[in-house]
Amino acid sequence: MITKILLENFKSFERLSELTLISSSKIRTSPEHRMQIKSTKLLRYGVVYGANASGKTNLVDFFRFFLMTLKVGLPSWSSQLFCKNNAENKHRESFFEIQFSVRDSFYAYGFTAVLSNRRITGEWLYELYQNGSSRCIFHRDVKAAQQISTKLSLSTQDKKRLITYSEDFSDNDTSLFLTEMNRNKKIDEDSKLIIFKNVFQWLINNIFIYTPNAPITDFRYYYDADSLKLINSLIATFDTGISNIRIEEISLNELTKMLPENIFNEIMADVRQRMEKFGMRHVNLSMRSDKNFFSLEVNDTGEPKVTTIKMKHGESFFDFGFEEESDGTRRLFDLLDMLLTDTDDAVFIVDELERSLHPKLTQHFLKLFNELHAKTRNQLIFTTHEASIMDRDFFRRDEIWFVERSSDNNSTLYSLDRFKERYDKVLSKAYLDGRYGAIPVFSSFRFHEYAFD
């Protein structure tokens, strides 16, 4: 679970900003939204409001950038991600940190970088204790000859290995040491160095980022009979008109009509490479475009098998293809992935959760999420404009956050909990009335001042 994020000099966030998911002890509403790890109580939701261009998407981009850097190092496009509001920011360090829990222990992992030069300047991993103290797992100071320091009580063998890995990495200032420690390194489960693996794997495998223009799910659930039965039951509750979902086999020729030729060729080349390079005799790919879904199953004994999904609407004689459904219905299919996941400690980061959805559908999804994950540690952090869910029936005050853009174009992040409101306050009305800021402010415009031919 995530406890806190911190960022500075990243896109519209010039000054150090933080979002915390540690619950307030003063708020008694919705106790089921709190999950306890040792003596720390964490929140299930983080809901971020703000006007257009306020910085909400930049907050989601923080997670995308963080994970991308962990996977492949500083990406080429990172050189333009510093806050461009002041000239000195170009050569100033940017700061990124995520605090989280793994196996009931708490950690803070982060790094600094001069983004314009694509150069990492520092990196750290600390274990955090309930009494406020911490232990250094490792600290890397690139400016001090790439030294890796640690407070771990390592065996002689592990100490030598860490020194060797550190020396081999000494000339690298575009990649992270945590990534290096998970690149073809064999670490025994009883080694103190296993913490490098546990932390890396949690960050890479347990944080899921969903943006409006990217499909969410890989539809793997549709190939399991029990899951498909559950999907049919869930989708029926949203009143979309769909009465049944099934898998239908189509020809390879039909697939070529669904995809641009270059995309189809790339997919088939990828399949052949997997089979030849890795000696795989069977490959199964599930893929989504904006309006199409298909699964491609290939083995070395016959023709590829291609399937897609078909929907039945009530008593309609003909079935409907995925491309024939509305944007809102396709969005629901994406969001179902978060309801069906069997991961017990997932963090879902969603930009514009309500996109293409009626407010009642958004509300229904949130109720289902809360119900289906009541016994898990799953969290949902999302940006939204939907004021109807700013209600105590849905969220606690400490789960609601605002991003506001200042006159100098800097984004400021703050919690609703800083406003001392009565418990009977209609929060959505107060927000739209401008009580909490983070709403659009319009300038006047007079048409008669402009002449048109």
* Residue 104 pLDDT: 92
Contacts of 184 (CB under 8 A, 6+ apart): none
CB atoms within 10 A of CB 307: 20
pLDDT at 144 over 80: no
pLDDT at 214 over 50: yes
HEC sequence for 243-283: EEEEEEEECHHHHHHHCCHHHHHHHHHHHHHHHHHCCCCEE
Q: Give the CA radius of gyration of the chain.
A: 25
pLDDT at 292 over 90: no
Q: Which amino acid is at 97?
A: E
Q: Which of 429, 376, 381 is nearest to 401 (CA)?
A: 381
pLDDT at 134 over 70: yes
- Which whole number is the average pLDDT over 126-137? 92
What are the structure tokens assigned to 218, written together? 């890989």
* Distance of alpha carbon 31 from the chain centroid: 25
**pLDDT top residue among 117 and 227:** 117
Q: Which amino acid is at 302?
A: G
* Residue 285 pLDDT: 75
Contacts of 256 (CB under 8 A, 6+ apart): 264
- Which whole number is the average pLDDT over 260-284? 77
* Residue 226 pLDDT: 77
**What is the residue whose two structure tokens read 């949130």?**
366
- Which whole number is the average pLDDT over 273-282? 71
Contacts of 340 (CB under 8 A, 6+ apart): 221, 227, 230, 231, 234
* Residue 171 pLDDT: 84
Confidence category of residue 295, pLDDT binned at 50, 70, 90: confident
Whether 416 contacts 91, CB under 8 Å: no
- Which whole number is the average pLDDT over 125-144? 90
pLDDT at 40 over 80: yes
* Residue 453 pLDDT: 53
Handedness of CA 48, 52, 56, 60 (dihedral sign): positive
SS3 for 118?
Answer: coil
First vs last Cα of the chain: how many Å apart? 61
* Residue 211 pLDDT: 81
* Residue 346 pLDDT: 94
For the ranges 105-119, 268-282, 338-352, 426-440, the lowest mean pLDDT is seen at 426-440
Q: Which of 429, 415, 424 is nearest to 393 (CA)?
A: 424
Confidence category of residue 259, pLDDT binned at 50, 70, 90: confident
DSSP code, position 10: B
Q: What is the pLDDT of residues 328-371, one digit of tens each?
A: 888 888 788 888 888 889 999 999 998 888 889 999 999 999 99
Residue % of the chain over a pLDDT of 90: 45
* Residue 445 pLDDT: 47
Dihedral-angle region of residue 292 (phi above 0 means left; psi in -120 to 50 means alpha; beta otherwise): beta
C-alpha to C-alpha distance for 98 and 69, rounded to whole angstroms: 13
Q: Please, what is the average pLDDT of the chain?
A: 85
Q: Which of 371, 367, 438, 364 is nearest to 400 (CA)?
A: 438
C-alpha to C-alpha distance for 14 and 129, rounded to whole angstroms: 30
* Residue 299 pLDDT: 80
Angle at 135 (CA atoms; ends 131, 137), nearest 5 degrees: 150
* Residue 314 pLDDT: 86
**What is the residue whose two structure tokens read 């699964």?**
295
Q: What is the pLDDT of residues 407-442, one digit of tens each?
A: 888 999 988 887 665 444 555 555 445 555 544 544
Q: Where are the alpha helices (DSSP H) in 35-143?
A: 56-72
